[in-house]
């Protein structure tokens, strides 16, 4: 008993002698970061948030089908569908964007809201975001014998939930249930489907291969149409402020409504084409270095 | 025997005469590359200066470092500091000579100890100043440089901002006496 008391006393003496501070995280619920390299992943939006007051600029291209061979320089001669997209973060959770794609001269506004962010300690195991928007086909249809579509008939809308998890520093997966709605899906539009309402499940995957590049995958099975499913495979390269995304994909469409309605050919093998995105995030109100 | 315990306990208590702590010191690093120079800063430097035991112990939660560009911060955490695995920068050491602190006088001090970041620990020497600014408060200011390659932090090759190999670190902390 006495011995143990003595030991205790000695022990209590030794602790403060070598007492270091206990290492504590300032924020125990640090969010998991860079689930994906950019707010875009091949063609789909991701849960990757933007910091308040920053702007994400994406320029996206998809070219003609590869099967034209060298004669058409593997589709590059066929002309590209190009989309410019600007997304501004009004807060750390909400951003609003505008985009314009050459396919059907489509003007588009959209918003993205981050509901949950996965945390490093797994208290929140997934990230959850919502996005939705609408746009208008501004092509000139005056050449048609019948009356051209009015503004409302040219519009289409979409919405999607994005549920993502970074399983490890190497592997991230996002599941995005999505819908799109065309007010008047005319045959003259560059879409294959004739339905008004489309449902699909977007699947995005990232497998990090080197510190700053990843293999990327996209598969969008259609849930209520006979159109074939969108398939994409690519490579992301993170280069400082830029993220370059190169991919092969089965559809030339670059925005959500067209993604679901524009079709993907009869089989992926005849419709595969090259695509290329450049993503850049600009910070506004940035702090100047004092020195 | 009971008395011995008491005596030891008392001794224990009196041993902390001059022990100062903070959890909100300031840490700033300056990356001064030829084409691009930027700073990162944090106000969460935690530190202990124990002049009786001659123990200096500081750590910084690297997640709190901000450079003013969110994406750059994320890349810094993810690609360079790897904060998920190595969240802290730590320094534990002692003063070469324990100074006699006089009110409002900057006393130059030298510390030797182990600095650890990115999972790599190295012996470093830091010089700075200790100033007694109130009866129960001391101010510590220190500056030192670290080479990223010493701590196995890779320099980016294919990027549009430059990271300097040599990072200048400035610490400034107001520590309060604790029992």
**CB within 8 Å: A120 and B84:** yes
Q: B167 to chain A nearest CA, in Å?
A: 14
Q: How far is B96 from chain A (nearest CA, A)?
A: 17
A241 or B92, which is more confident = B92
A11 and chain B in contact, CB less than 8 A: no
How much is the pLDDT for A213?
Answer: 93
Nearest to A21 among B57, B68, B161 (CB): B57
Q: Is A34 on the interface with B (CB under 8 A)?
A: yes
In chain B, residues 104-123 whose CB comes closer than 8 Å to chain A:
none
Res B26: pLDDT: 96
- Cβ-based contacts under 8 A for chains A and B: 112
Whole-number pLDDT of residue A291: 37
CA B64/CA B61 separation, integer angstroms:
6
- Using the predicted structure, report yes or no on whether residue B14 has a pLDDT greater than 70: no
Q: Cβ contact (<8 Å) for A26 and B64?
A: yes
ipTM: 0.79
Does residue B80 belong to the interface with chain A, where contact is any CB pair within 8 Å? no
Q: What is the mean pLDDT of residues B135-150?
A: 94
Nearest Cα of chain B lies from the Cα of A3 at a distance, in angstroms, of 9
Residues of B in contact with A33 (CB under 8 A): 74, 77-78
The secondary structure of A246-280 as a DSSP string is: EEEES----SHHHHHHS---SSHHHH-EEEEEEEE
Give the pLDDT confidence score for residue B15 in this predicted structure.
44
Question: How much is the pLDDT for A288?
Answer: 47
For B71, which of A8, A169, A281 is closest by C-beta distance? A281
* Nearest alpha-carbon partner for A179 in A195, A156, A160, A202: A160
Ranges of residues in chain A whose predicted pLDDT is under 70: 1-18, 240, 268, 285-291
CA dihedral A34, A39, A40, A41 (to 10 degrees): 20
pTM for this entry: 0.82
pLDDT of residue A205: 97
pLDDT at B6 over 60: no
Chain A neighbours among B 21-40 (CB < 8 Å)? 21, 30, 32, 37-39
Q: Would you state the pLDDT for residue B18?
A: 85
**Please, which pLDDT band fits residue B154 given cuts at 50, 70 and 90?**
confident
In this predicted structure, the answer to whether residue B160 has a pLDDT above a threshold of 60 is: no
- Please say whether the beta carbons of B43 and B26 come within 8 A: yes
Which letter, b or e, does each residue of A9-20 get, where b requires 16 or more Cβ atoms within 10 Å of its Cβ?
beeeeeebeeee
- Which residue, among B75, B71, B74, has the nearest Cα to B154 in the 3D structure? B75
The string of pLDDT tens digits covering residues A93-103 is 999 999 999 99
> A212 and B61: CB-CB below 8 Å?
no
A70 touches chain B (CB under 8 A): no
Min Cα distance A9 → chain B (Å) is 6
**DSSP, residue by residue, B117-136:** ETTEEEEEEEEEEEEEEETT
pLDDT for res A69: 79
CA distance to partner chain A, nearest, from residue B27 (Å):
14
Per-residue pLDDT at B157 exceeds 80: no
Distance from CA of B68 to the nearest CA of A (A): 5
Whether A126 and chain B come into contact, CB under 8 Å, resolves to no
Find the closest chain B residue to A286 by CA distance.
B68
Catalogue the long-range contacts made by A25-28 (C-beta closer than 8 Å, 24 or more residues apart). A25/B61, A25/B63, A25/B87, A26/B44, A26/B61, A26/B63, A26/B64, A27/B61, A27/B63, A27/B64, A28/A121
Q: B61–A54: do the CB atoms touch at under 8 Å?
A: no
Give me the residues of B, 131-150, that contact A with CB < 8 A: none
B20-77: pLDDT as tens digits: 999 999 999 999 888 778 899 999 999 999 999 899 999 999 999 999 888 888 888 9
**Consecutive H or E run containing B14:** helix B2-14
Q: Which of B84, B82, B73 is nearest to B42 (CA)?
A: B73
Domains of chain B with CATH codes: 19-177 (2.40.128.110)
Q: Do the chains contact at B71 and A241, CB–CB below 8 Å?
A: yes
């Amino acid at each position: 008993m006495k011995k143990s008391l003595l030991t205790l006393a000695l022990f209590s003496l030794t602790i403060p002698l070598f007492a270091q501070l206990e290492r504590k995280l300032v924020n125990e619920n640090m969010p998991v970061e860079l689930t994906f390299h950019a707010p875009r992943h091949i063609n789909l939006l991701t849960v990757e948030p933007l910091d308040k007051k920053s702007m994400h600029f994406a320029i996206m291209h998809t070219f003609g089908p590869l099967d034209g061979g060298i004669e058409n320089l593997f589709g590059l001669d066929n002309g590209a569908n190009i989309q410019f997209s600007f997304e501004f973060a009004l807060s750390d959770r909400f951003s609003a964007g505008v985009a314009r794609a050459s396919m059907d001269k489509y003007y588009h506004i959209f918003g993205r809201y981050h509901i949950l962010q996965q945390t490093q300690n797994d208290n929140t195991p997934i990230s959850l975001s919502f996005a939705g928007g609408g746009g208008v086909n501004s092509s000139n249809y005056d050449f048609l014998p019948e009356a051209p579509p009015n503004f409302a008939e040219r519009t289409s809308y979409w919405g999607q939930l994005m549920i993502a998890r970074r399983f490890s520093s190497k592997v991230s997966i996002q599941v995005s249930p999505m819908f799109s709605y065309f007010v008047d899906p005319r045959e003259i539009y560059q879409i294959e489907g004739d339905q008004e309402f489309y449902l699909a499940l977007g699947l995005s995957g990232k497998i990090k291969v080197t510190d700053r590049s990843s293999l990327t995958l996209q598969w969008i099975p259609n849930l209520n149409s006979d159109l074939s499913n969108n398939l994409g495979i690519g490579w992301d390269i993170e280069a400082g402020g830029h993220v370059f995304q190169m991919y092969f994909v089965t559809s030339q469409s670059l925005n959500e409504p067209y993604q679901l309605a524009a079709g993907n050919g009869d089989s992926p093998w005849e419709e595969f084409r090259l695509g290329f995105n450049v993503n850049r995030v600009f910070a506004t109100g940035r702090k100047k270095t004092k020195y | 025997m009971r008395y011995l315990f008491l005596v030891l306990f008392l001794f224990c208590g009196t041993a902390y005469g001059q022990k100062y702590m903070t959890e909100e010191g300031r840490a700033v690093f300056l990356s001064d590359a030829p084409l691009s120079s930027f700073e990162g800063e944090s106000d969460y430097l935690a530190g202990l200066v124990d002049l009786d035991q001659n123990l200096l112990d500081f750590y910084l939660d690297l997640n709190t470092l901000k450079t003013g560009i969110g994406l750059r911060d994320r890349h810094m955490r993810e690609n360079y500091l790897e904060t998920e695995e190595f969240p802290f920068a730590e320094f534990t050491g002692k003063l070469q000579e324990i100074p006699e602190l006089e009110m409002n006088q900057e006393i130059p001090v030298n510390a030797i100890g182990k600095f650890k970041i990115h999972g790599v620990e190295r012996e470093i020497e830091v010089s700075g100043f200790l100033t007694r600014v109130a009866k129960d408060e001391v101010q510590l200011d220190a500056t030192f440089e670290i080479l990223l390659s010493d701590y196995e932090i890779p320099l980016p090759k294919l990027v549009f901002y430059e990271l300097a190999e040599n990072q200048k670190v400035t610490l400034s902390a107001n520590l309060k006496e604790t029992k």
